[in-house]
Structure 1
Amino acid sequence: MSPSQPQGAPLSGPRTLPPQVRSALPAGDGPRPFSVYLHVPYCRVRCGYCDFNTYTNLSMGAGASAADYVGTVAVELEAARAAMEEAGLPARPARTVFLGGGTPTVLPAGDLAALLGLVRDCFGLVPGAEVTTEANPDSVDQAYLETLAGAGFTRVSFGMQSAVPHVLAVLERTHQPHRVPLVVDWARRCGLETSLDLIYGAPGESLEDWQRSLEAALEIQPDHVSAYALVIEEGTRMWAQVRRGELVEPSDDDEATKYEMADAALTAAGYQWYEISNWARPGRACQHNQAYWRDWDWWGAGPGAHSHLGDVRLWNTRHPVAWAGQLADGRLPVAGHEILDAQARRLEQVMLAVRLREGLDLRALEPQHPERLVPVVSTLVGDGLLDKAAAAKGSAVLTLRGRLLADTVTRALVQGGT
């Protein structure tokens, strides 16, 4: 499939990146790997804790409706490729593609196949590229998953969140617990790798509830598990419920205990943590996740999507109507950008790399004056936050306690080297 623009959306006007962005882009394609993220902003129901850029109105008008999403993304990807090439950054084949949301599987399976075709046509895919979509357990069936596998998808990440009905009700999830093993089995039959997303710390979730969810997830035997602490963001419906006293906000101690429970259960079952919130069977770590932590380049298409090119950060217009309107006017839908200076780059380098099991190369952080980090690393090892053996080899690798206090470790390493 070749990219095509929505009917009635002639391309005219500026399609280039701002001059200051073009001058800050990395020269040539170089060795930096490249990924593509597609943000599908549509959901049947918006969960009370969700602060993502999502919309339950699937019919927002020409170009912005769910039915028009593929055609509008086609225009954005074509424009993005042209803008990068005009800036001297040739197109590179994508090593990973990730469809997130929202709920990408609100769209028909054929639309997701078409989206992957657009990425393939615009940028290309490396042989064996990892291609993932998020999915709700009640939004797919076996035929849907077979279509994805046939189109070249390799992974599905299912939003399980919990196996306990009253916890799912608090989170306003619409699926039933019995649905999760069914969809994982269907995906497995299609040759797709599977991941389960879990959330811990929901109001009213006991330690026994969380243990039950962990056991249910492990019984399903997915390839990959993500476990995230619930963060109740200001402005969400759940935040308002907490303020009114209808729900009790989870405590830091409760969430720390649940993280330790997750790590113990998953490790005992043969999963290995590779990033603070992610565990996988050997060889099944999510490459797209690691693209973020390893400082790859990526282009994010869709309303509110973010892009990362060298020192440049870009973010799209959030509302689908405005996003589609800019593309219809022949403009890239970039709402803003940031060019990181050396200090911000250093902070980002530490913050991202320290989250990984492989850790942060301390010699790369301070190549000229490595002695500056010796006192702070020694203190962090003494406090039980960094692995002693790894530190002796020049790497900052978090211990279990360090994973719970990763922000503290990041601050110490950034400040200790300046």
Structure 2
Amino acid sequence: MPSALPEGDPVPTDGSLPESALAQLGRRRLGFYVHVPFCRVRCGYCDFNTYTAEELGPGVSRSSYADQVVAEVRRSRLVLGTADLPVATVFLGGGTPTLLDPADLGRMVTAIDQEFGLAPDVEVTTEANPDSVDRDRLERLREAGFNRISFGMQSAVPHVLAVLDRTHDPERVPTVVEAARQAGFDQVSLDLIYGTPGESGEDWAATLDAALACEPDHVSAYSLIVEEGTALARRVRRGELPMPDDDDLADKYVQADEQLSAVGLDWYEVSNWARDDAARCRHNLGYWTGADWWGVGPGAHSHVGGVRWWNVKHPVAYAARLAENLSPAQAREVLDDETRRLERVLLEVRLRDGLDVDVLPVPEVLPSLAAAGLVEDRADRVVLTRRGRLLADGVVRSLLG
């Protein structure tokens, strides 16, 4: 969850949604995102809405957080009414969800199941740092209903992790991946970051080799972005570190795509690769394809039936709202048809499955984009080539006229 929230419009104190949104319930699959805002250490590059123990005020603790999540889940049922809405995906992110006891994380999933019911093939994911779990905790997470886990590996090179302020031992990654397999997780994903100042091409190749040696089902690889307000941004501003170089980032993206594709991990979103269709992250696909989801936790964003809203940012304010039996939502916006169409273009063009050309305001640009090698030469869908993925922002600008 990003640290800054938009302005938006007021939300009723009970969080009720417009009838126009409720009328669309069930047309799209429903997911739940649960934001767990706790971290042991604040990473220098991260601008997510996270807090170390020292940054939290009275009324907030890891031990009471599950109760607050359960309270918001129950409120979501009241807001959405009695419609039959089996939940297709649950995703716990952060922060570091696995700093909480597996039993507490399991209570969150159980609350969603009790209020809505989980689909028979539900995907239940938690993020984890390699140093926040061991075999016992992984087994308990699996028993609690989690069937997918995403480890924040980031890099296999100690000096790169040091620049990112990541504190885990990279040699621990294979151990926890194997422990997750033995615990019975259906899918194991690794998250990587490339372009860190001081990371050579050889460093990035070593990270990819180490990740692939773990035989993951899924890999996410994101270029480092220097976010304003972070410790990393301050170091760059002081001249201690250089800004990431665009050409270097492009080279490393190509390097990743080549190494991942060579072992059967195919791209399905610009920054995501999966062993097969079953290994794609269905929860994130929901975001990219305009599904409905309820975001639980401080700063979490939600979307139902064309209404998008976000919760108050700080855990203290979030806990206080729930304690007063009020909606934790801070503000919202109702998306008009044109905005929803533009967002479809922005998001779906990033997918391997592509974008229906009928959505485009200016489809006549497609031949020139195909001639430039940016999109595949297809009449029905817009699908990016590798070159197009490198220049995706420019392609989107052309598609939107």
Question: Percent identity among equivalent residues?
Answer: 55
Instruction: Select which of 198, 201, 213 maps to 1:207.
Output: 201
Residues 180 and 54 of structure 1: is their aligned pair in 2 closer, same or farther, counting only changes over 3 Å?
A: same
Equivalent pair of 2:26/2:85 in contact (CA under 8 Å): no
In the alignment, structure 1 residue 30 sits paired with structure 2 residue 26: yes
d(CA) in 1 for partners of 2:162 and 2:151? 17
Aligned runs of 1:273-352 on 2, under 5 Å? 273-282=267-276, 283-352=278-347
Matches within 5 A, 1:365-404: 365=360, 372-373=362-363, 375-388=364-377, 391-392=378-379, 394-404=380-390
- Supply the distance in 1 between the matched residues of 2:297 and 2:335 (Cα, whole angstroms): 23
CA RMSD in angstroms, aligned pairs only: 1.5
In 1, the alpha carbon distance for the partners of 2:288 and 2:83 equals 23
Q: Deviations over 1:342-375 (max 9, x none)?
A: 2211110101110110000112446xxxxx51x2
Per-residue deviation, residues 304-341 of structure 1 (Å, max 9, x unmatched): 00001121110000100001101111111001101112
Contact 1:58 1:65 in 2 (8 A): no
Note the residue ranges of structure 2 that are not aligned, 5 or more in a row.
Answer: 1-11
Structure 1 residues 245 and 164 mapped into 2: Cα distance closer, same or farther (>3 Å)?
same
CA gap of 1:59–1:170, structure 2 versus 1, over 3 A, is closer
Match of 1:77 among 58, 73, 76: 73
Confirm or deny: 8 A CA contact 1:39 1:100 kept in the other structure.
yes
CA contact (8 A) 2:26 2:84 kept: no
Q: What's the counterpart of residue 360 of structure 1? A: 355
Using a 3 Å threshold, how does the CA distance of structure 1 residues 119 and 222 change in structure 2: closer, same or farther?
same
Partners of 2:102 and 2:337 lie apart in 1 by 43
Query: Given that residues 203 and 249 in structure 1 are in contact (C-alpha distance below 8 angstroms), is that contact kept between their aligned partners in structure 2?
Result: yes
Runs of 4+ in 1 over 3 A off after TM superposition: 58-63
Q: Which letter maps to 1:414?
A: L
Query: Residues 84-233 of structure 1: matches in 2 within 5 Å?
Result: 84-85=80-81, 90=83, 92-192=85-185, 193-233=187-227
1:233-254, Cα deviation, whole Å (9 max, x unpaired)? 0000000000001111111111
Deviation at 1:61, TM superposition (A): 5.5
- Report which stretch shifted further, 133-142 or 400-409: 400-409
Q: How many residues align?
A: 388
Query: Residue by residue, what CA displacement relative to the aligned partner does 1:115-153 show, whole Å, maximum 9, x if unpaired?
Result: 111111122100020000000000000010101111111
Alignment deviations for residues 261-291 of structure 1 (CA, whole Å, 9 cap, x no partner): 0000000011110011000101311111111
Query: Which TM-score applies when normalising by structure 2?
Result: 0.94
> CA–CA distance in 1 between the matches of 2:58 and 2:79?
24
- Give the whole-Å Cα distance in 2 for the aligned partners of 1:90 and 1:16: 18
Alignment of 1:52-63 (within 5 A): 52-57=48-53, 60=56, 63=59
Q: Please give the secondary structure, in 1, of the residue aligned with 2:108.
A: helix
- In the other structure, the counterpart of 2:4 is none
Q: Deviation of residue 259 (structure 1)?
A: 0.4
Show structure 1 runs of 5+ residues with no match: 1-13, 367-371
Cα gap change, 1:246/1:15 in structure 2, threshold over 3 Å: closer, same or farther? same
Structure-1 separation of matches of 2:20 and 2:99: 37
Cα deviation code 1:210-232 (max 9, x no counterpart): 01100110111111100000001
3-state DSSP of counterpart to 1:156: strand
In structure 1, C-alpha distance between the alignment counterparts of 2:148 and 2:218, rounded to whole Å: 10
The one-character-per-residue Cα deviations of 1:97-132 (angstroms, maximum 9, x if unpaired) are 000000001101111111111111122100020000
Does structure 1 retain, via aligned residues, the 8 Å contact 2:36–2:92?
yes
Give secondary structure in 2 for the equivalent of 1:138. coil
Q: Give the TM-score normalised by structure 1.
A: 0.90
What is the CA–CA distance in structure 1 between the aligned matches of 2:121 and 2:178, rounded to whole Å?
A: 23
